[in-house]
Amino acid sequence: MPTIRIPTPLRPFTGGATEVAITGATVADAMHDLTAQHPQLQQHLYGADGELRAFVNIFLESEDVRHLQGIATPLPAGARLRIVPSVAGGKRSQRAATQLAAGCC
């Protein structure tokens, strides 16, 4: 079964899970299965138009799916997906803006 690696900023929406087993023949199916399992991820991964947000980077193994067939990329059995977040922290990380935690209070 394919798995998807969840980056730290998204783990609050997967109950802390670092990796989620998913089903689906394509990246798109797998992402839908992921949000079906963890509905709180929906607004972080998908825009109001139902499309994956432009800043969500999905890698199949070490390849950006944008350079494969995008979300139509077929998933082999046991494929490892990962979401790579854009993270801004560095200088003063307790106020770090991250993809999902911009401008911490």
Partner 1 sequence: MIRISSAVDPATLVLSNEEIRRYSRHLIMPEVTLTGQQRLKAASVLCIGTGGLGSPVALYLAAAGVGRIGLVDYDVVESHNLQRQVIHGTAQIGVLKVESARQRLLDLNPDIEVITHNEIFSSANAMQLAQPYDILIDGTDNFPTRYLVNDVCVLLDKPNVYGSIFRFEGQVSVFWAKHGPCYRCLFPAPPPPGLVPSCAEGGVLGVLPGTVGTLQASEAIKLILGIGEPLLGRLLLYDALAMTMEEVKLRKNPDCVICGPHPTVTALIDYEQFCGMPAHDQGAAQTTSSVPELTVQELKAMLDAHRPLHIIDVREPHEWQIVRLEQAKLIPLGDLQAHLSELDSTADHVVLCRSGARSAKAVELLLASGIKRVKNLKGGILAWAREVDTTLPLY
Interface positions with partner 1 (CB under 8 A) = 7-9, 12-13, 18, 43-44, 53-55, 57, 59, 62-64, 66-67, 82, 84-105
User: Is the distance from CB of 72 to CB of 28 less than 8 angstroms?
Assistant: yes
Which is nearer to partner 1, 39 or 91 (by Cβ)?
91
**Amino acid identity, position 21:** A
Which is nearer to partner 1, 30 or 56 (by Cβ)?
56
User: Is the distance from CB of 41 to CB of 13 less than 8 angstroms?
Assistant: yes
**Nearest approach, Cβ of residue 104 and partner 1 (Å):** 4
Distance, in Å, from the CA atom of 105 to the CA atom of 11, rounded to the nearest integer, reads: 19
